[in-house]
Structure 1
């Protein structure tokens, strides 16, 4: 390993983990700070002869030894500094057979001095489309494996090794993932599957340990700059900034345009000092407000060019650091900087890197300053609807907006990220607002969305959301402007006393914005008439707050055995001329969370999230497509067009695997042909099921269809706090 070896930094930091007295390495590790080695928790478990996914924090590591193959074969003792075992998405321990997990990290504190030759290595951001390299745990130079970064999931970097003679195999776990162009470690190899491998992003390491409550001893990686540790966003911005802006003139030009777009007048900084030895052009970094000094230095053109004027290492990195610190300190600063940087990019690879960074490092503010100002100006037009209505229509499982004003709504929606997919939900809401706005404003909002989506590389995905918004607006025009107004929700938890018509129950009510209105519990079973009297009084109170055209929702939480209970036919208000029938005055749906399988909870959330683009399946027998996980166009609703004796089994399957809406015919005194359900839902989309069933109950049908329609409509959330669904007397 010569001084010109491009992999020298990572080789000096590469650690191997051994079992005491045995020559072979079980896996790798990396020296990220003096005396601190990062590795995988499952590698530590293997060395200690424990199951790979053992969760308990190990005690003494007497069986474990660490070596640095590039600097010698001496074995070093270590103690555990931080422990983050592998866990599933729901927080439960990972197990054999799992293909993805989170965590699986361990920090080791060296008890012996590794010597001056073993040097910590810096970390950097990972970006798609670039090659990276990993070594076997032993660190043997010939074991190098070349991989291609395909992308970053919610937890891992996805790697392919199809072009490498040496794929990543068992024993590479804990190896640092090395970006040769950056000369930085961008991840830690954690798992493999065939020719595909996975790594934990280096940018996430500190956050992962801190979220688990683990104290991290010292920095994870080499810190940049003279102003102290940089936050993760600033660190990830540095990579593309340094790649694109290779001269001090280019950096100074972008810095000036950046400040102009922010419309920020920086506070006056100290008088520049030009004495010898100051490699930061005299910027007084000892001032109390370092960020104000950064802005002043950039605005004054104090971009360091180094002693020879070439922008070499002494000056240019510090100036780039000041710029990214300022970007993270100002509202919409990071996306503004990245948008300007994209305009200066020279290659497609740089463009891809910048786009990936824009989606990854700006979770709370992805709009540039100019985009944000333009959007608020467009939304101030009087033809744009209330943001609460637009968000309720656009986001089936979105945030409950408290504010009726667009500036506050934009701030909240910009922070909101869906669990699945990467399309910003603010853009989706703007599309729904544009579809309902006046023609001039609609064109302006559409052009705005197109520009933002193009910058983020989401132009094609935007078309689908735009089509859905226009379809929604067209339906709203057909049914009248107030028909889709948000409505309050009343939840009834019901427990039947065995063999009787007496019930225990809990009542919950919330207004159209989700704010609680009522909560009561009756533990002692009472006759159904008593339940209906109390429910009727609550419904009378709730309906007084309903907007014109909206229909309050009544959700019935029942056990699986009670799903055929005809609650929608119960009369809650006796009257000779106008009796109050629940299913005709209110939108009644059933919910039974106990029938949902825990393993399919992510699938249930996914189907609910894509409700408007999902499909309705007409089922007359068990159909594998209903159980398919992660389908691009998933089944979000099931209409059971089967004989009555098949309904319980097919209904249970659909609910278990996470289908939000299931429609069926309850047993009737006279048989109703199953094809009647097929006729009812012909051409309907899943999200239309509740309204379709409500309207069918309003229409008398000779065969009794209107009295026997039952619907489960079940979101992943919105369960009452005391949802026990058992007998309260137990």
Structure 2
């Protein structure tokens, strides 16, 4: 119920639905009005309940747990419910004694009652937002009848936190008996500020009881109300303050310090109101439009409940009061709520990341792991805006790195990652991302020299990455066709900047020879566009059933060809099965860690006729430095062993899809990083010396640093 609040603005018509009608027992006559505190809870005056029950208006004795008919309104019309009396605060004289004297006492205290619906009400019910009553407020009250024109506009003349006097406008409806217990609504403040309690009627003839002729000396259209300030106190006295009060002070170590600091920084109510309106605007929150200001406590509550409020506040204060920014940010580090970026900074970063080429944005998780090698790992996620937003969300929660100059703030993990990502971008994109980093660093008070050091680290990393990057790739997603021995292909090329699609057909079946011809045609085009001396790697992306496809043996040789074309003999060809890696995502960190140890990790060999998946699993859990596995087991066990190895994150697995172990033995001496070329060399020998080289080797190769196309895979892998 504070100064800052969300949701859509409630106009006068919507606010009128907060007022309900309390019916008299045994009839349809209205006793008075009430206001919805929350869906199913009604606040009204105790004298309205007395009237509904047929008791004396100021009867003080609790009526018991009685039930009354309540008529409330939603967008579809009037509905009926039963409200049970749960809290009773009888009317009492100003000196605290009972009962109130109907003719002698002009004002009184107490006079509140709470009715609760025992069953959930039908339809969607609004909830009242409350604010203090202040002199000068323009308010609107509604009759319990619910008719569209049954409202009265009034202005608060005086308010002493116990009684507020309101005068009606000279035209329109005036407040009368049917208004008692209803809300007084501040349209600019978008909140209720009190309840209508009584109306000052014109003087009457003491004998006949008829109203005397009007005189300019008569009091006209004056009523008095129970201000919100007193409603809170009265409900607290019977243990019901939680029905209308704000939440208790947040259990956040920064709350009290924020309140104290804001009081010192912005002691002026006017300045605090201006600042509150600016912060609310940047955080897409609403606030009263009545010239009021948030209290320091309300401001502090916002900072420990709205994640981007603190950055928005410091963004506004950066040029006005840099020392206050440092103080607020230091307090913010004590709370788990504040995020790093203001709404503007976050929106701009989202815009920049959305404009990056897919080949660059797909490498955001790679840049994050390189920039923050000791931070929490990141799960495999599909690429695109959702993935970028998820990574940014995780990075915002991380503290800065450990290197800083003196007492200067540390460089946040998010800025470091964005510097690493910028190093992978083209010159214009890099400039935009680094300008964004400069702006955030200036707001946080981070020295330019500290950010420049991280920028230098990023450039060095990007240079090393380019120097040791793998060969260019042609990726082919292979699925089985409708007919046996027919295949459907989708092909991408990757010169080192990420996959770019070169074929889109996915519904045409090919024989192995036709598939080889298509792939060789793409490879020829690849050589023309990327004239490197290194042969490109052919990476076949398959599902579990495709691990043993004879892709390397696909061959094309028509009468017009001078030489044959055998894929596995000409090009290093590996298979990659993202499906298995995605089935058990808890092993993704293991996969990345093993891949980083590719040149130093251990090699294992599984052979024999009795080894099974359980033994393989236990061995790999015991040898967590294993990066390469050779499988030389009985054919009926081989595929299961291979799948276990791939599923737990072993990046390199070699086996023979035939029944020979010759290929596995032959390439056992080849270093792990050279395996694609070593297997290609063996496959070439099988073409002209098949009796000496009878093996049919398969090499599964899952590079954790290079993206695999995701949008077209049933089991997408990280980019």
TM-score normalised over the length of structure 2? 0.42
User: Bigger relative contact order, structure 1 or 2, given CA contacts below 8 A and separation 6+?
Assistant: 2
* Bigger radius of gyration: 2
TM-score normalised over the length of structure 1? 0.41
